[in-house]
């Protein structure tokens, strides 16, 4: 009779452990589903040339929105939801006069600005 009691206790303990593990996994999955992912934005820098002239201008693009100056870009970024992610992969080819990319100080200032406004700025320098 003792063997049956031990076997019953072992089965009972295993069942309790399995139930506890399943409940913990279900709770963990629910917690992951409840946390919404932060919005992600992709930024591009477009060089616009009109006609035969080599002179052009740069425009920052975020989705379908174009911003001509760094100040306009900052104003836009400041209105993004907190915890947003702004990614930029400008590639490795440079003309030398691109906004933000031509000045280490300007880039550091922009990174700091994003951080102060709760935006995660991810720069992929080589595209």
pLDDT at site 125: 79
Q: What is the pLDDT of residue 59?
A: 94
pLDDT at residue 70 in the model: 94
* Residue (of 37, 41, 60) closest to 106 by Cα position: 60
Question: Would you state the pLDDT for residue 64?
Answer: 92
Give the pLDDT confidence score for residue 111 in this predicted structure.
96
The packing angle between helices 70-78 and 104-116, to 10°, is 20
> pLDDT (tens digit, 0 to 9) for every residue of the chain, 127 residues total?
555 565 456 555 655 656 566 666 766 655 666 778 999 999 999 988 886 667 788 999 999 999 999 999 999 999 999 999 999 998 877 777 888 888 899 999 999 999 999 999 999 877 5
Domain regions of the chain by residue span:
1-35, 40-123
User: What separation, in Å, do the N-terminal and C-terminal C-alpha atoms of the chain show?
Assistant: 72
Q: What is the pLDDT of residue 84?
A: 96
């Amino acid at each position: 009779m003792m063997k049956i009691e031990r076997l019953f206790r072992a089965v009972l303990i295993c069942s309790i452990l399995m139930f506890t593990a399943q409940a913990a996994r279900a709770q963990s999955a629910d917690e992951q589903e409840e946390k919404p992912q932060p919005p992600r934005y992709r930024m591009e820098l477009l060089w616009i040339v009109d006609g035969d002239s080599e002179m052009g201008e740069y425009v920052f693009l975020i989705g379908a929105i174009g911003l001509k100056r760094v100040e306009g870009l900052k104003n836009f970024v400041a209105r993004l939801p907190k915890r947003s992610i702004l990614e930029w992969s400008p590639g490795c080819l440079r003309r030398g006069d691109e906004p933000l990319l031509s000045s280490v100080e300007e880039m550091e200032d922009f990174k700091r600005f994003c951080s102060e406004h709760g935006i995660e700025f991810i720069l992929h320098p080589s595209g």
